[in-house]
Amino acid sequence: MMMRFLFFMYLLLAAFLVQAQAPEKIFRPFIRSVKLFKAGDQTASPVLFLGQPEQLELHFDDTEGSMKAYYYTLQLCNADWTEARLPAFDYLKGFITQRIQNYRVSSGVQTRYMHYQALLPERNSGPTRGGNYLLKVF
């Protein structure tokens, strides 16, 4: 009986610790220091619970140094991180793309860069279905 309990606890712990994640890809060499975490806690995983008023913080630097208009969207994915074949209106409410409006110019450093920051999802938008979501910034 004790062995059965320990085996169950091992399986439960293994399931909790093993999390499938999409590989992080940055397609532009001038984008640096990308961070995504639960708002207010840099050590927390970027996981939200559907229907809860939680947000994620996105931070990144653009080392080209000039202000650009960056936007983001969320893409629903299957369990294996392949793109779900659903229109965005079936899993997102509000606007499909959002502009990243918070940015600041570097100061006191040799290399000029722009630091961008966003809280997401926006207040009146976000996912309507549970699942794996890929954050795309463009």
pLDDT of 105-136, one tens digit each?
A: 988 888 889 999 999 998 888 999 999 999 99
pLDDT of residue 21: 58
Backbone angles phi, psi at 10, to 5 degrees: -60, -45
Please choose, from the candidates 101, 119, 97, the residue with its C-alpha nearest in 3D space to the C-alpha of residue 53. 119
Asked whether the beta carbons of 74 and 95 are under 8 A apart, the reply is no
pLDDT of residue 5: 38
Beta-carbon-side half-sphere exposure of residue 124 (alpha carbons within 13 Å): 2
The domain ranges of the chain are 25-137
- Strand 31-38 versus strand 56-62 pairing type: antiparallel
Q: Which residue has the higher pLDDT, 2 or 59?
A: 59
pLDDT band with cut points at 50, 70 and 90 for residue 9:
very low
Query: Residue 6 pLDDT > 50, yes or no?
Result: no
What are the tens digits of pLDDT across the range 14-47? 333 344 555 677 788 899 999 999 999 999 999 9
Q: If DSSP codes are grouped into helix, strand and coil, which group holds residue 93?
A: strand
Please choose, from the candidates 103, 7, 1, the residue with its C-alpha nearest in 3D space to the C-alpha of residue 60. 103
Backbone angles phi, psi at 90, to 5 degrees: -80, -15
Report the alpha-carbon distance of residue 33 to residue 78 in Å, rounded: 27
What are the tens digits of pLDDT across the range 53-86? 899 999 999 999 889 999 999 999 999 999 999 9
SS3 content of the chain, % helix, strand, coil (to 5): 15, 35, 55
Asked whether the beta carbons of 120 and 133 are under 8 A apart, the reply is no
